[in-house]
Amino acid sequence: MRKFLKALTLAGVSLAALESSANNPGPLSRGPAVSFGGSIQAAGFAVNQKVRSTKEVTFQTNGDLVASIGGTTDSNLTYGGMAVISLDRNKFDTTDGLSEVYVYVNHDALGNLKFGDTNGVEDTMMYTSGDVLGALRGRDVNKYFNITRGVDLRETIEQLNDRATKIAYSSPTVHGFQLGLSFTPNSNFYGRYKSANTTNSTGGLNTSQSYPYAQNHLATALSYNHSFSQANVGLYGVYASGKGHAPSGQGNSVNNVNAWQVGFLGDAGNWQLGASYFDNGKSLVKKGTNWTNTKGFGVAAGYDFAHNMNASLGMTHTERKVTGGKAKGDVLVAAVDYLVMPGLEAFVEIDNVTTKAPTAYVTGTNVSGADLYANYPTTNINNHGTAFILGSRVRF
C-alpha cells in the first residue's frame, strides 16, 4: 500500500503542475481537442480440429473505437484522456463495452504517467513474436479452437486481468535506456479474467469470481534500443510481483506473483525479428500442489516484399506442470498482409495448434476454481488442428 500512496502522490504533483500551467497559458498552449480513430475487421475461419464443439466454418467481426481528448500547455506538457470501446461480438461476449479508460500526462523531460484501466508495462514495454506477426497474429485462438483443459497459450507474464485499474509510468529515454513501473492495487476490482474467457461443462460462461487475483501487483520494466545505419536492435526485460488471493469462497490459498520475461526486437532492411522467453513460476497457482504457472518462448520473422505487402512466420511454445505431467501448447502462425489502399487491408493466416495435458489432470476433481486454467470443459482433451483465416481490416 505504501507504494500505491507514493504513486498517488506523484500523480497529484503532476496534475497540480498541469493545472497551474493550464491556468497561465503561453504561446505554445493548446486547449483540449477531441479525436476519434480505430479499426474494424471481419474474418472467415475454416477450422479442422480433432476435438470439435464449434462449426468447421465460422465468421468473426471485431475492432476497437478509440476516443481521445487532449491538450498541450505552454511548457510542452501534454495531457488528456483515452477511452477504447471494444467491438468484439463473438460467442463468448456479445456485449460491446469499454476495454480501456485512463487519463495521462506526458512530457519529454519527465516521462509518461497513466492512471486508469489500461495495460501495464509488462505489455507496453515488452516486445514478443506477436509484434512481428501480421494478420490476426494467432491471437484469440480460444474463440475457434477447443483448448485442452489446463493449457495457457499466451506468450506473456501479463496477468489475465490485463487492464485492471493501475498507475503506469515510463521514463524518458536516456542513451537508449528506458525504465517503466506499473502498480495495480487490486485486480479483483475489474477484469480479473479479461483476456481468456472460458466456458463450463454446460457451455455457459464462467464468472470472474471463479479465479484467483492479486493485490499490490507491481511490474518493473527496463528497455534498451540502439540504432545502426541500416538496422535497429531492442532488448527488453520485465519483472512482476504481488500478493496472491484465492477465489471468493473457495478456501484455497494460492502463491504470490513472481514472474519475469525478456524480449528482443530487431529490424534490418526489409527483415524483422522478434523473440521472447518468459517464466511465471508458481504465480497464483494453488498451494500444496506441484503445479506451476506457464513458461515458454516465442519467435517470429517478417519480411516486407514491397511497400504494400508483408509476410511473417512464427511459433510459440508454452508449458506448465500439472497433475500427472505437463500441460503444453504449441502454435505455428503464417500470415500475409496486403495493403489494398490507405486504410484498407486484406490478410490471410494459417494457424496450426496443438494442446495436450495428462488425463489425470484433465479429468481430476477439485481442480475448477483452484487453478487459473482448469475451467475449460473436461471434454477438451488433447487436441490438434489447423485454421485457415481470410479477412480484411479497415483503419480510420
Residue 20 lies in a domain: no
**b/e code 36-70 from CB counts within 10 Å (16+ = b):** eeebebebebebebebeeeeeebebebbbbebbeb
Strands annotated E in the chain? 30-49, 57-72, 78-89, 97-107, 111-117, 165-170, 177-186, 213-227, 231-245, 257-268, 271-279, 295-306, 309-322, 325-341, 344-356, 383-395
Strand partners, 262: 237, 277
Distances (CA, A) of 5 to 9, 147, 171, 220: 6, 41, 19, 17
Structural domain span for residue 149? 42-56+84-395
Decide if 266 contacts 276 (C-beta within 8 A): no
Query: What's the confidence (pLDDT) of residue 376?
Result: 77
Q: Using CB atoms within 10 Å of the CB of residue 161, give its burial: 0 to 12 exposed, 13 to 18 middle, 19+ buried.
A: buried
Q: Is 219 left (phi over 0), alpha (psi -120 to 50) or beta?
A: beta
Query: 189 CB contacts (<8 Å, ≥6 apart)?
Result: 164, 165
CA angle 244, 245, 249 (to 5 degrees): 165
Torsion of CA 358, 361, 363, 364, to 10 degrees: 150
In terms of Cα–Cα distance, which of 238, 230, 234 is closest to 273? 234
Residue 260 counted as domain residue: yes
Beta bridge partners of 11: none
Helix (H) or strand (E) holding 3: helix 2-23
Does 37 fall in a domain? no
Residue 10 belongs to a domain: no
Give me the pLDDT at residue 41, please: 92
Q: What angle do CA 354, 360, 362 make, to 5 degrees?
A: 50
Parallel/antiparallel/unpaired status of strands 165-170 and 57-72: unpaired
Domains: count for the chain = 1
Give how far the C-alpha of residue 135 lies from the chain's centroid of Cα atoms, to the nearest Å: 16
| CATH code (residue 317) | 2.40.160.10
CB 355 within 8 A of CB 153: yes
Strand partners, 348: 336, 390
- Position 324 in a domain: yes
Tens digit of pLDDT at every position of the chain (396 positions):
334 333 333 333 333 333 444 444 444 567 788 999 999 999 999 999 988 766 677 888 888 999 999 999 988 899 999 999 888 765 445 455 778 899 999 999 999 999 998 999 999 999 999 999 999 998 878 788 889 989 999 999 998 766 788 999 999 999 999 999 999 998 876 543 333 344 444 545 444 456 788 899 999 999 999 998 889 999 999 999 999 988 765 556 889 999 999 999 999 999 999 999 999 999 999 888 889 999 999 999 999 997 899 999 999 999 999 999 999 999 999 999 999 999 999 999 999 999 999 999 988 766 655 677 877 778 888 999 999 999 999 999
Residue 312 pLDDT = 97
Helix, strand or coil, per DSSP, at residue 45: strand
Does 148 fall in a domain? yes
Whether 68 is in a domain gets the answer no
Residue 28 in any domain: the answer is no
The model's pTM is 0.85
